């Protein structure tokens, strides 16, 4: 069990580390690693269910110490799952990469030249509309420099 915990932690740590290493850019979607984390969390949950069902089926009271240990293990696993949910790291919400790698954005204020991750330089002048890589725009949208343009109306 300890090895599984370390695997979950190391895969999750890799995902967080890639975000930490590039604070201004959303790193490319790592489907393999996200799928690995999701599978390991499901496995942890299934182990929890199996342990609980085994405990429930053996309620003759003959081995109270073993029941107590299994119950504590089930509680620890559930606390880990709940902690993941509280940290807003629900890997099941976003298991697919974005549909569109390029998005249409409008500059809300003059921000000068901006170089995208693929080396293209654009001038972000107020009101200018650009088609840019999603990963380059997300931080600027959060800062209020850009806004997404509705594809249906334009």
pLDDT tens digits for 57-108?
776 656 777 778 877 888 887 777 776 666 555 555 555 565 677 889 999 9
Question: Structure pTM?
Answer: 0.44
Which of 35, 23, 11 lies closest to 135, judged by CA? 23
What is the number of domains present in the chain? 2
Tokens of 93: 């919400």
| CA-based torsion, 63, 64, 67, 73: positive or negative | negative
Whether 2 has a pLDDT exceeding 60, the answer reads: no
Query: Does a structural domain hold residue 92?
Result: no
- Last residue in a domain, options 86, 113, 138: 86
Do 115 and 70 sit in the same domain of this protein?
no
Query: Does a structural domain hold residue 24?
Result: yes
| β-pair partners for 131 | 104
Do 20 and 74 sit in the same domain of this protein?
yes
Do 119 and 59 sit in the same domain of this protein?
no
> Alpha-carbon distance 135 to 22, whole Å?
11
Query: Does a structural domain hold residue 93?
Result: no
User: Which residue range is the domain that position 9 belongs to?
Assistant: 2-86
Do 79 and 138 sit in the same domain of this protein?
no
> Alpha-carbon distance 90 to 81, whole Å?
10
Which of 117, 113, 124, 92 lies closest to 102, judged by CA? 117
Query: Does a structural domain hold residue 97?
Result: no
Query: Does a structural domain hold residue 154?
Result: no
Do 41 and 82 sit in the same domain of this protein?
yes
Mean of all residue pLDDT scores within the chain: 77
What per-residue confidence (pLDDT) applies to 36? 78
């Amino acid at each position: 069990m300890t090895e599984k915990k370390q695997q979950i932690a190391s895969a999750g740590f890799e995902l967080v580390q890639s975000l930490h290493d590039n604070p201004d850019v959303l790193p490319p979607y790592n489907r393999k690693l996200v799928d690995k984390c999701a599978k390991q969390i499901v496995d942890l949950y299934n182990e929890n269910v199996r342990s609980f069902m085994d405990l429930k089926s053996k309620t003759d009271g003959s081995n109270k110490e073993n029941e107590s240990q299994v119950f504590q293990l089930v509680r620890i696993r559930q606390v880990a799952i709940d902690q993941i949910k509280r940290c807003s790291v629900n890997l099941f919400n976003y298991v697919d990469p974005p549909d569109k790698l390029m998005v249409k954005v409008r500059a809300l204020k003059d921000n000068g030249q901006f170089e995208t991750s693929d080396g293209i330089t654009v001038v972000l002048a107020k009101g200018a509309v650009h088609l840019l890589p999603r990963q380059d725009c997300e931080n600027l949208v959060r800062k209020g420099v850009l806004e997404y343009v509705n594809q249906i109306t334009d």
